[in-house]
Amino acid sequence: MSLWDILLIGLGLSMDAVAVSISNALAYPCLSRPRRLAIPAAFGLFQGLMPVLGFFAGSLFASLISRYAGIVTLAILGVIGVGMIREGVHCGGAAGDCAGKELTFQVLLVQAVATSIDAFAVGVSFCAGGADILLAAPLIALVTFTCSLLALQVGSRFGEMLGHRAEVFGGIILILIGVKAIL
């Protein structure tokens, strides 16, 4: 497997993390710098870690993960998305209003796991294809980190334009990602 192949796989795997990063920027407009950097760091870490776990687990859990990955992703992102929509509708304050809106570590951890479940299956395929996991995993992590960092900027810009509707829009994005996962 070439470096180019791994970079493209990393880009593909990072797209869910990118969408969730945009949603987070929309829903939490007043993130502190450390919390803002925690988003791409968590997504990058889990996107890099899951292929390693899949690589070493081989085909032991591959069918189980493949069978239920979409449903688990939909459930997790759906619950978070509905919560964001509810918060946006009921608390539709002024644009940039940050009262009571904080991205918790637990929510970020759940998002990172939910967006990286498919990377486990990629790790299984790396094992079957004889790919160099010591090269692939860090590259996937770096691509995801970079893309998610850029996505935060995009989400912040759209958040300024959308105002108080940004949180509702972010919740809809999360639900759509979950729905896409089961299709």
What's residue 61's pLDDT? 66
What's residue 97's pLDDT? 57
DSSP 165: G
* Domain residue limits at 110: 3-182
C-alpha angle 97/100/106, rounded to 5°?
A: 125
> Which residues have C-beta within 8 Å of that of residue 120, sequence separation ≥ 6?
50, 51, 53, 54, 57, 61, 65, 69
What's residue 95's pLDDT? 47
Question: Domain total for the chain?
Answer: 1
What's residue 62's pLDDT? 63
* Residue 116 near residue 177 (C-beta atoms within 8 A): no
Parts of the chain with a pLDDT under 70? 59, 61-66, 91-100, 163-164
What's residue 131's pLDDT? 85
What's residue 53's pLDDT? 93
What's residue 161's pLDDT? 76
